[in-house]
A and B are shown apart, each in its own frame.
Chain A
């Protein structure tokens, strides 16, 4: 290569040359080449792992899932792989989801409203926010234990299972449901709070200028605006509730069947113990009592389907609302 002044321009090419899109990796330093390779491996492996989990569960699930499983109760029998279904756990999951969401959502929205729109005294608001953060960061098992301690305390006894000998175990649908609401709370709260904060102040000012009270403003202006964000947060919380196992095992008794307590129909059911899909999977795996992996796979397939549907729902709702709620969802994984 001759350096220095060039007097003759090289052959002009009328052909368009593609500008090298990526820096030629071969020319990089060794350590950067290693990073390049590892980064590619990491990215593709992540995709492969996710894909294989879904495919594997689908294969096993379709192999073992029969419609009868969905509508029959678990029945104790010697031939575990042939008998019974998971109707009870299914009902259990739905009940958990219902109680948890119904309790958590108003609580979360009220808290978010108070923090953003009022928030006095400052110290108290700080304490409440810290409390919610602590709950968000606490693992399920710790919350389950804490809940157990709470519900075994005398006052709450009517809510839970009472053994024939009179000992209060502190386990029931109500107890578990209330704890479930606790794990859904931070997600709904964060989504609502972010959405409220993102709402432009002109919205409120315009309403006040028209002479509306703060309450009316909240009811008529703000809440409708953040509706879809609340829905996003609630759905995220729902996802977390449905996937939680530890709370169920400790606070629901994790028997295979639902056992109502006392005579009153609905109340008895709620005060009784039972199972959900998650605890059902746990119990039917080699770790639990049942040792019927086929049923576990079938239930796992149903569970992952529910989760995927919820994910899609979140994506759908979040698109309608502001981005604030979606951010909250990602942060509170």
Chain B
């Protein structure tokens, strides 16, 4: 647990007063629900019996030490675990009531988007990156005129448009790390997903970019449900509405951010939050 220097000096885009726990928002409708989900890699359980609820308007943070299964749980939500051979699961996950195993995986992932730990923009222009999923989903080849408003909209919501409005056709790989990650977020939300999954999105970035992205998460929260995996407890404190603490594959405790950080019920949660192990 490191002391975030932003607490000391005023950062550019963080609004004052954001340092305390996030204001309680009235939670929206439930979007996804996990029913006793277990995930096995070749018979070794990575996640055991997880039951969680994901609501719109909420940021759910999955916290826990390395190897506790939080990333695996996240990747189960958009069935990305299927890419790993030997992965099986039990239990149900529903998206708006539908069992996600019954949906087409391509359609599922258009509704449940993901941002990865390492920014991975494609070797194309900024515009093509954001328009990528839009082009692939369209029936016939959409014209640039049709795509532009959607692309610009996504870039604006990701807080990137102002910086690159003149450079939409420049290579995406020339952007800085923080810009690339925001581009990946823009790319992920371009298709108007219902859920946004984020796998430690700031761990490869510098503190300033981290602050920008945290603010971004706050603003996106209203339209989407966001699930974020993070090993940075301070970050979880700053941006999470609900927190689930995982340890060795089990969801040990789950509750509002205030409960978990101020008054956790479980011993192990208390130890982790206090920094006894990491």
A-side residues, CB < 8 A to B, are 1-6, 9-10, 12-21, 23-24, 27-28
Contacts and interface: CB of A to CB of B under 8 A. Distances in A.
B94 interface: yes
Contacts of A13: 90-92
Contacts of A10: 35, 92, 94, 99
B81 interface: yes
Given A16-B89, A27-B104, A9 B33 contact: yes
A5 B99 CA distance: 13
B92 A20 contact: no
A9 B98 contact: no
B58 to A, nearest CB: 14
B10 interface: no
Chain B contact residues: helix, strand, loop or mixed: strand
Ranked nearest first, the 9 interchain pairs of A and B with the lowest CB-CB distance are A27-B104, A9-B35, A6-B97, A3-B96, A19-B82, A16-B90, A3-B97, A18-B88, A19-B87
A296 to B, nearest CB: 47
Contacts of B105: 20, 23-24, 27
B84 to A, nearest CB: 9
Nearest to B81: A19
B270 interface: no
Contacts, number: 63
A4 B33 contact: no
B30 interface: yes
B30 A17 contact: no
Contact of B88 (A1, A16, A27): A16
A17 B97 contact: no
B99 A21 contact: no
Interface string B34-68: 01100010000000000000000000000000000
Contacts of B104: 24, 27
B29 interface: yes
Contacts of B33: 6, 9
A14 B85 CA distance: 21
B268 interface: no
B252 to A, nearest CB: 21
A25 to B, nearest CB: 11
A47 B127 CA distance: 41
Interface in B1-37: 29-30, 33, 35-36
Contacts of B218: none
A17 B90 contact: yes
Contacts of B94: 6, 10
B106 interface: yes
A11 B183 CA distance: 40
22 contacts: A1-B97, A1-B98, A4-B97, A5-B29, A5-B30, A5-B97, A9-B33, A10-B94, A12-B36, A12-B91, A16-B40, A16-B88, A17-B90, A19-B79, A19-B81, A19-B82, A19-B87, A20-B79, A21-B85, A23-B105, A27-B104, A27-B106
Interface string B73-117: 000000101100101111110101111010011100000000000
A24 B105 CA distance: 8
Contacts of A3: 96-98
A14 B35 contact: no
A83 B201 CA distance: 78
A297 B272 CA distance: 75
Contacts of B96: 3-4
A294 B245 CA distance: 77
Given A5-B29, A12-B36, A27-B105, 14 more contacts: A1-B98, A2-B97, A3-B97, A5-B97, A10-B92, A10-B99, A16-B40, A17-B90, A18-B88, A19-B79, A19-B81, A20-B79, A20-B82, A21-B85
Q: Which of A6, A10, A21, A24 has the most CB of B within 10 A?
A: A6
A186 to B, nearest CB: 31
A16 B101 CA distance: 13
Nearest to B137: A29
Interface string B208-242: 00000000000000000000000000000000000
Nearest to A12: B36
B139 to A, nearest CB: 9
Contacts of B98: 1, 3
A16 B40 CA distance: 9
Contacts of A1: 97-98
B155 to A, nearest CB: 27
A18 B82 CA distance: 9
B268 to A, nearest CB: 26
A7 to B, nearest CB: 10
Nearest to B36: A12
A14 B36 CA distance: 9
B140 to A, nearest CB: 12
A80 to B, nearest CB: 57
B90 A14 contact: yes
Contact of A23 (B40, B92, B99, B106): B106
Contact of B35 (A12, A20, A27): A12
